[in-house]
Amino acid sequence: MPPQTRRTSFPAVVIERDTDSEESSSDEDEVEDVVVESEEEAEVEEIQNGESVEEEPPAVKKREKVPITISLKKVCKVCKRTGHEAGFKGATYIDCPMKPCFLCKMPGHTTMNCPHRVATEHGVIPAPHRNAHNSLEYVFERQLRPKVSKIKPAFVVPDQVHCAVIRYHSRRVTCLEFHPTNNNILLSGDKKGQLGVWDFGKVHEKIVYGNIHGCILNHMKFNPTNDGTVYAASSDGTISCTDLETGISLSLMNLNPNGWQGPSSWRMLYGLDVNSEKGLVLVADNFGFLYSVDMRSNNKVGEATLIHKKGSKVVGLHCNPLQPDLLLSCGNDHFARIWDMRQLKAGSALYNLAHRRVVNSAYFSPQTGSKILTTSQDNRLRVWDSIFGNLDSPSREIVHSHDFNRHLTPFRAEWDPKDPSESLVVIGRYISENYNGAALHPIDFIDISTGQLIAEVTEPNITTISPVNKLHPRDDVLASGSSRSLFIWRPKEDSEIAQQKDEKKIIVCGKAEKKLGKKSAGESDDSDDDLSKLKSKNSKPGKAGPRSSRSSIKGKR
DNA sequence: ACGGTATGACACC
DNA sequence: TGGTGTCCCTACCG
């Protein structure tokens, strides 16, 4: 069995943490003890950041023996009112009660007691079923429904980090792509426009091509007729076609031939997909337009078509895996739209799927192409069970925390391409959870047919959010991009844990390598700490803190 | 240790 | 409709 053999040859790797997570409030107990002397004073001493100001002035006064108690009314940093405080208490984040729930956006409760958090099944809001039978639905029932597996397979969730490359990229990771035929190759794009090629079977074999794009590499897709080359769309307004062996890149299209003429005219490319039947590379820009490029001639085909609201960003494109004429797009105009490629014209979408916020991604299901899954900034995943049925409202809405919109790569729920039932989906979680005293951001596996959380995958050493995730097309492997780092996850049996203990070694590159070299000459440094921490944790027989020593997985399998 | 900042949607006028 | 101020769990760098 290929996975078995490969698994044993896999180098086990310790992850070096980028930075120590800051303890925002170690002084939890004193919160209630502040005495308010007078209202005027409290107003004068208005705090911006409750924590930093609070301690220092009294310390200074004490030294001068002036027994003035400066009263500081604790002010909520969210709503600026007194009487409560939002922020981390240890590893648990306390919401501001004055604001609607941070998770589901409904007023009246906070994230802590949000029904969608307490019981994940409640995240499912079923759409009203309508009996609107049309001919397409008939075709679906007759031809495609039988192909959709009815028996839910036992999901295999990769939950153990086997490889990590720290600071492989110098900017945050924006997209990932597995090689279509070589099982151990992972491509990664970053905000700087660099393209990484990593053979995670041999950890040290990694390349970064830095001269392909000038800024954000938003999406990439392999050339279906030559898997040695990959197409990429960038915010520099170009499509590249890169030879992975040589790194030599060809520019297929440049939307800014005259260079920078100001932000109102600079075109950026976001969505990209390849339509292999038609031999087209499709891209979409930040002004609402779709462009086609012929893969043989590398020439632009036809004119750009306005497919989303004029001036709005089209962030995602996806061609239906079975019906080459169907295209799905999504963007900042709060819509996902289904198009017939044969009649592409502004305003002529087959369907317009409304969302309440920006739609980060929209994908047809990978095998039958008959379902649609979208990720929206309103903290909901939406599922349409059949594109041939009634599309007026989604079949299900699943509340899930992924709404951060700045500084982070947008979250995108990704199908498991191996799941015959087309129901397993992976997506990183923005909101943190307290895992044995550490605030971690898990990667969630969700059954979109029920809305159930199948698993939440964490690693004590991965303290950063993982917005970019992709499941391997053939193996039980998950790739994650978290900040600037890449991770490969595999399922691991307990018998392998013991083996891993002896094999530990640190794999770092880039800046982290320098850091490691510099400090190891002297005293202890972060990575040493981490290593010793891990060692000590691993030496525990596991009972006391079952989740602390290993990557953990919660939920049903 | 702390503070600056890159950066994007959207509400509001 | 466009300019502007605001923003709740970032991550990192100097």
Burial (CB count <10 Å: 0-12, 13-18, 19+), residue A3: middle
Name the band, by pLDDT with cuts 50, 70 and 90, for residue A121. confident
Q: Is the CB of A102 under 7 A from strand C?
A: yes
Region of poorest pLDDT, from A97-101, A235-239, A490-494:
A490-494
Q: Which residue has the higher pLDDT, A139 or A476?
A: A476
Name the band, by pLDDT with cuts 50, 70 and 90, for residue A262. confident
Q: From the alpha carbon of A24, which nucleotide's C1' atom is closest? A: C9
- Nucleotide C9, nearest residue via CA and C1': A431
Q: Is the CB of A511 under 7 A from strand C?
A: yes
**Contact yes or no for A306/A293 (Cβ under 8 A):** no
Asked if residue A346 has pLDDT above 50, the reply is yes
Burial (CB count <10 Å: 0-12, 13-18, 19+), residue A171: middle
Q: Is the CB of A286 under 7 A from strand B?
A: no
Q: What is the average per-residue pLDDT within A376-403?
A: 95
- Nucleotide B2, nearest residue via CA and C1': A52
Q: Which residue has the higher pLDDT, A103 or A518?
A: A103
Q: Is the CB of A462 under 7 A from strand C?
A: no
Asked if residue A518 has pLDDT above 50, the reply is no
Task: Quick: pLDDT tens for A282-332.
Answer: 999 999 999 999 999 999 999 999 999 999 999 999 999 999 999 999 999
Specify the pLDDT at position A313. Answer: 96
Q: From the alpha carbon of A512, which nucleotide's C1' atom is closest? A: C12
> Pairing relation of β-strands A92-94 and A468-471?
unpaired
Asked if residue A445 has pLDDT above 80, the reply is yes
The answer for residues whose C-beta is within 8 angstroms of residue A407's C-beta and 6 or more apart is none
CA of A104 to C1' of B8 (A): 21
Specify the pLDDT at position A264. Answer: 87
Specify the pLDDT at position A549. Answer: 43
Asked if residue A433 has pLDDT above 50, the reply is yes
Q: How many separate helices (H) and strands (E) can be counted in chain A? A: 8, 36
Q: From the alpha carbon of A334, which nucleotide's C1' atom is closest? A: B9
Q: Is the CB of A434 under 7 A from strand C?
A: no
Asked if residue A532 has pLDDT above 50, the reply is no
Region of poorest pLDDT, from A65-79, A468-482, A506-520, A535-549:
A535-549
Asked if residue A359 has pLDDT above 90, the reply is yes
**Contact yes or no for A336/A372 (Cβ under 8 A):** yes
Name the band, by pLDDT with cuts 50, 70 and 90, for residue A127. confident
Name the band, by pLDDT with cuts 50, 70 and 90, for residue A153. confident
Q: How far is CA A518 from CA A294, A506, A507, A527, in A?
A: 50, 15, 16, 12
| A83 three-state secondary structure | coil
Name the band, by pLDDT with cuts 50, 70 and 90, for residue A67. very low
Neighbours of A436 (CB within 10 A): 13
| A228 three-state secondary structure | strand
Region of poorest pLDDT, from A43-57, A77-91, A110-124, A372-386:
A43-57
CA–CA dist A160, A508 (Å, integer):
18
**Contact yes or no for A269/A235 (Cβ under 8 A):** yes
CA of A405 to C1' of C6 (A): 14
**Contact yes or no for A127/A395 (Cβ under 8 A):** yes
Q: What is the mean pLDDT of chain A?
A: 79
**Contact yes or no for A289/A314 (Cβ under 8 A):** yes
**Contact yes or no for A157/A428 (Cβ under 8 A):** no
Q: How far is CA A473 from CA A49, A133, A178, A419, A420, in A?
A: 47, 34, 8, 10, 12
CA–CA dist A194, A151 (Å, integer):
42
CA–CA dist A293, A45 (Å, integer):
61
| A475 three-state secondary structure | coil
**Contact yes or no for A426/A417 (Cβ under 8 A):** no
Residue that the structure tokens 């075709």 belong to: A139
Region of poorest pLDDT, from A325-334, A403-412, A511-520:
A511-520
Specify the pLDDT at position A50. Answer: 36
Q: Which nucleotides of C are covered by protein (CB under 7 A)?
A: 7-13
Neighbours of A12 (CB within 10 A): 20
Rounded to the nearest 10°, the torsion over CA A542, A545, A551, A557 is: 90
Specify the pLDDT at position A61. Answer: 37
Name the band, by pLDDT with cuts 50, 70 and 90, for residue A528. very low
Asked if residue A419 has pLDDT above 60, the reply is yes
CA of A93 to C1' of C9 (A): 7
Name the band, by pLDDT with cuts 50, 70 and 90, for residue A165. confident
pTM of the model: 0.81
Q: Give me the count of residues in chain A.
A: 557
Name the band, by pLDDT with cuts 50, 70 and 90, for residue A404. confident
Region of poorest pLDDT, from A81-85, A91-95, A217-221, A379-383:
A81-85
Q: Is the CB of A443 under 7 A from strand B?
A: no
**Contact yes or no for A269/A237 (Cβ under 8 A):** yes
Q: Is the CB of A192 under 7 A from strand B?
A: no
Could you tell me the two tokens for A11?
């180098």
Q: Is the CB of A333 under 7 A from strand C?
A: no
CA of A250 to C1' of B5 (A): 34
Rounded to the nearest 10°, the torsion over CA A75, A77, A81, A87 is: -80
CA–CA dist A262, A266 (Å, integer):
6
Specify the pLDDT at position A47. Answer: 34
Burial (CB count <10 Å: 0-12, 13-18, 19+), residue A502: exposed
DSSP secondary structure code for residue A508 in this structure: B
Q: What is the average per-residue pLDDT within A159-173?
A: 90
Q: Which residue has the higher pLDDT, A88 or A498?
A: A88
Q: Which of A135, A64, A127, A191 lies closest to A372 in space, CA to CA? A: A127
